[in-house]
Amino acid sequence: MSDAQPVLHLIDAFRASKVLFTAVSLRLFDRLEPAPVSAAQLAADTATHPDALQRLLDACVALALLARDGPLYRNLPVASRYLRQDSPDTLAGYVLYSDRVLYRLWGNLGDAVREGSHRWEQTFGSRAGVFESLFATDQDRLTFLQGMHGMGLLSSPAVAAAFDLSRFTHFCDLGGATGHLAIAACRRYPGLRATVFDLPAVTPVAQRFIDGAGLTERIRVHPGDFFTDPFPPADLYALGRIVHDWSEPRIDLLLSKIHAALPPAGGLLLAERLLYPFHDGPLNANLQSLNMLVVTEGKERTAAEYEALLRRAGFRSFQACSTGCILDAMLAIK
């Protein structure tokens, strides 16, 4: 039986994910934060079937998200910190995005492998691109951005610390979303000023997070499209989880545009998951590369593959750093 355990674990893996997705969708962790609650009371509060909800709660106990004391359920610290939608460190936005969007797209992974293209039209019946679909409504946009912010809180401090950036004076995060990387960089380097550059629909959300971080005087937001609009001046640009979204012609266009905008000795900081040289791990990077297959036109790469892209755009030096976090860091110099 022990030889089959890896297979049995993988068979159950999607079930465990769906337990998490459903519990967050029902806001169970938010409801349990003030005080322990019984399954019967939670069922009444959420208009769910009492026995069915209790099975879901018990699964959350088995997953070490909740604890049970007799008839009462309570949050464990991991749920209080990461699964409540009003927690400052919440990952609930990414969980909801995974449930409503990624879970459905991954259901068509076989067709994506056969055809080598994303699954938006097949899954959702829309020819709109990924970002048009993710930003279709105000709530869709906010859920996605909150998800990216939660993941950014885990990765951005490590990315900002990967290299000594103290010689740079102005940092511009292209496609910077909620500003989490700019915030982390400014907190680490007190002399740094920053700009978050993203689509007009995103910048009001970024402004709220920057104001909340107390960095309004050092970080500004600038609306624009990084493919078509001029960049704000900076001596250090950043792309976090951007390059992996696009095909090589689009990447070449973007990197060349950044290179042209930089002053001599200016830098480009990249944050992506790096594959091992033979593409045989780490697992999170392999899974993310498949995620890019079903969601976008991009993929994950090795450090050497990123270096080749950057040198083709004109950058003269390159460093890569494995952060031990969910994103790795690379620094290229003009």
CATH number, domain with residue 47 = 1.10.10.10
Are 206 and 314 within one domain?
yes
Euclidean distance between CA atoms 207 and 222, whole angstroms: 10
DSSP 277: T
DSSP 279: S
pLDDT at residue 135, as a whole number: 76
Are 72 and 162 within one domain?
no
Q: Is 299 part of any domain?
A: yes
pLDDT at residue 132, as a whole number: 74
pLDDT at residue 143, as a whole number: 83
Q: Which residues of the chain have pLDDT under 70?
A: 1, 129
Are 76 and 183 within one domain?
no
Are 266 and 188 within one domain?
yes
Range of the domain at 174: 150-333
Helix axes 50-62, 39-46, angle to 10 degrees: 120
Q: What residues are paired with 222 via a beta bridge? A: 197
- 118 labelled catalytic: no
Burial of 200 (0-12, 13-18, 19+ CB in 10 A): exposed
Q: Is 49 part of any domain?
A: yes
Are 185 and 295 within one domain?
yes
Q: Rounded to two decimals, what is the model's pTM?
A: 0.94
Are 180 and 44 within one domain?
no
Is omega for the bond preceding 232 within 30 degrees of 0, making it cis?
A: no
Domain finish residue from 82, 98, 117: 82
Are 157 and 299 within one domain?
yes
Are 221 and 317 within one domain?
yes
Q: Is 48 part of any domain?
A: yes
pLDDT at residue 129, as a whole number: 65
* Of the candidates 172, 254, 163, 258, the residue with the CA atom closest to the CA atom of residue 219: 172
Q: Is 247 part of any domain?
A: yes
Are 321 and 179 within one domain?
yes
Residue 306 and residue 268 in contact, taking contact as beta carbons nearer than 8 Å:
no
Are 42 and 186 within one domain?
no
pLDDT digits (tens, 9 = 90+) for 15-32: 999 999 999 999 999 999
Domain finish residue from 56, 82, 108: 82
Domain finish residue from 34, 56, 82: 82
Q: Determine which one of 180, 222, 244, 259 is catalytic.
A: 244
E strands of the chain, at which residues? Answer: 37-38, 66-69, 72-75, 170-174, 193-198, 219-223, 236-240, 267-272, 274-275, 301-302, 317-321, 328-333
Are 76 and 198 within one domain?
no
Q: Is 103 part of any domain?
A: no
Q: Count the domains in the chain.
A: 2
Are 160 and 307 within one domain?
yes
Q: What is the DSSP string of 150-193?
A: HHHHHHHHHHHHSS--TT--EEEEET-TTSHHHHHHHHH-TT-E
pLDDT at residue 86, as a whole number: 92
Check which CATH number belongs to the domain holding 227 and give it.
Answer: 3.40.50.150
Count of residues in the chain: 334
Euclidean distance between CA atoms 187 and 185, whole angstroms: 5
Instruction: Supply 240's token pair.
Output: 């976090």
Euclidean distance between CA atoms 141 and 133, whole angstroms: 9
Q: What is the DSSP string of 231-249?
A: PPP-SEEEEES-GGGS-HH
pLDDT at residue 1, as a whole number: 53
- The residue type found at 217 is E
Cα–Cα distances in Å, from 204 out to 102, 135, 177, 194, 312?
25, 14, 10, 16, 35
Q: Is 94 part of any domain?
A: no
